[in-house]
Each structure stands twice: as structure tokens, then as C-alpha cells.
Amino acid sequence: MKLYYTPGACSLSPHIVLSEAGFTYELEKVDLKTKQTEHGEDFNAINPKSVVPVLELDDGERLTEGVAIVQYLADLKPEARLLPLAGTLERVRVQEWLNFVATELHKGMHPIYRAADAGEQARDFYLPRFKAALSYVAGQLQGKTYLMGEQFTVADAYLFTVLGWLNWINLDLSEWPVLQVYQQRVAARPNVKSVLGAEGLLA
Ligand SMILES: N[C@@H](CCC(=O)N[C@@H](CS)C(=O)NCC(=O)O)C(=O)O
């Protein structure tokens, strides 16, 4: 398998899942400005949506959409317990989180990040909503190790990824001490640490 990724982007989430589940995989770095890969491929030809992540399977099939990729990977390695079995309520709870992170946090942050293009009004409008979403997550994590309790899941890989972007929008995670402790806890997982190192994200 090969993951097309950009350091620190949302492709970090499937990268963490690949590592946590114990897959053997290759990485191909994508420059999102030039849309070229590190080996000179035209990324737009690889993914017409022009975004990472892309997971290329060994038969050449390509998967896009982070939440679909992480669920596909986790189902291939149920023993890693990154996603409860299909048909259980716990499975749907993880999917609830994946969707929340994708829509309220990941894409909720977008107009704030792009405020310079979208106009400062966009930041004023979207920031309170985004902060309320973070406060909701902080409340849900109170007294828990991970989103689902003691078990690290694919939803944590995605949440951790998005929390890493707050400095891009001048938000300080210390406003939510629970989230700060959570971020440190996830960052300390040996597989996460090695993925951060591989993406050049360790200080
Ligand atoms: N719907 C896609 C969105 C992926 C996405 O937003 N990727 C960003 C990086 S986090 C990207 O590649 N942006 C490049 C661009 O907009 O040119 C998913 O959830 O996987």
C-alpha cells in the first residue's frame, strides 16, 4: 500500500492508522502548492479531487476521503482494535466522531484558516462556532483517556491530527486543558511518535 501524504495535513490520520495497525506501507509526499509528488508525478492525475490523503492499494486501486480510508484500514486489521465491529453501537459511535471531526472541526476550521481570502468577517462568523465545537469535545473527553474511553480508535487519529492545526489559526490549545493533555497523550504513543518523526514534525 502507498499513502500519498503532505506533512501535518489530514493525511496524518491514515498515516497514524497504518502504523498503529502494523501495516507495511510506502509513503509518497505531495506538494499541495505545485500538485507534484516527490517522484515527479502529477498529483491531479492521481486524485482529480486534488487533495490528500490518497491510499493506493497493491492492485493499483485508489481510495480517497480520510474517514473512508481509516475505516477500510481498521477493518483489515480487527486485531488492532482501532474500530469496533460493524453492526455494533460502538462502531456507530466512532463513526459519529469521525463525522464530527470531519465536518465541524476539519472543515469548520477551513474558513477561519482561509480568512484572508474569505474576508475577516468569515473568521468572526466561524470562530465562535468552531470554539464551541472544541469545547464540546473537551467536555466529552473529561475523565476519559480517548474518545471511546480506554481504547484508542481511528477517531482519535483524526482528532489528534486536527488539533495540531490550531496554531495555524492563532488558537491556543491551553484554553482547553483537557484537549492539551489529550494531545500530549496521543503524541506519546510510540507509533504516533514514529509517524510524526517520519513526517518531519518532531521538534
Ligand atoms: N474530503 C477530503 C478533504 C481532504 C482535504 O481537505 N485535504 C487537504 C489537506 S488537509 C488538501 O489536500 N488540500 C489541498 C488543497 O485544497 O489544495 C477528506 O476528508 O479526505
**151 and 61 within one domain:** no
How far from the centroid of its chain's Cα atoms is residue 202's Cα?
17
pLDDT band at residue 75 under the 50/70/90 scheme: very high
Within a domain: 56? yes
Supply the pLDDT for residue 113.
83
Supply the pLDDT for residue 43.
98
Instruction: For ligand 1, say whether the CB of 50 is within 6 Å of any of its atoms.
Output: yes
Supply the pLDDT for residue 86.
96
List the grid coordinates of 44: 491531479
- Site to substitute for ligand 1 among 52, 69, 114, most atoms within 8 A of C-beta: 52
**Ligand 1 atom at minimal distance to the Cα of residue 110:** 6
Average pLDDT of the chain, as a whole number: 96
Instruction: For ligand 1, say whether the CB of 9 is within 6 Å of any of its atoms.
Output: yes
Write down the residue that cell numbers 477561519 correspond to.
112
Residues 6+ apart with CB under 8 A from 68: none
pLDDT(119) > 90: no
**155 and 109 within one domain:** yes
**101 and 133 within one domain:** yes
Supply the pLDDT for residue 116.
67
**45-69: average pLDDT:** 98
Within a domain: 149? yes
**Ligand 1 atom at minimal distance to the Cα of residue 69:** 20
CATH of the domain at 40: 3.40.30.10
Q: Is 120 exposed, middle or buried (0-12, 13-18, 19+ CB in 10 A)?
A: exposed
**22-33: average pLDDT:** 98
- Distance, CA 56 to ligand 1 centroid (Å)? 16
Residues 6+ apart with CB under 8 A from 146: 152, 153, 156, 182, 186
pLDDT tens digits for range 159-173: 999 999 999 998 999
- Site to substitute for ligand 1 among 5, 31, 35, 51, most atoms within 8 A of C-beta: 51
Supply the pLDDT for residue 9.
97
Supply the pLDDT for residue 111.
85
- Distance, CA 158 to ligand 1 centroid (Å)? 13
- Site to substitute for ligand 1 among 10, 71, 105, most atoms within 8 A of C-beta: 10
**76 and 7 within one domain:** yes
**144-154: average pLDDT:** 98
The more confident residue out of 110 and 183 is 183
Range of the domain at 23: 2-80+192-198
- C-alpha 50/C-alpha 35 separation (Å) is 7
Return the SS3 of 50: coil
CATH of the domain at 163: 1.20.1050.10
**97-119: average pLDDT:** 88
List the grid coordinates of 203: 521538534
**59-72: average pLDDT:** 98
Supply the pLDDT for residue 53.
98
The tally of domains found in the chain comes to: 2
**Ligand 1 atom at minimal distance to the Cα of residue 52:** 12
Instruction: Tell me, yes or no, if the pTM score tops 0.85.
Output: yes
pLDDT(196) > 80: yes
Within a domain: 203? no
Residue of the CA atom closest to atom 18 of ligand 1: 65
- Distance, CA 51 to ligand 1 centroid (Å)? 4
Sign of the dihedral through C-alpha 51, 56, 61, 64: negative
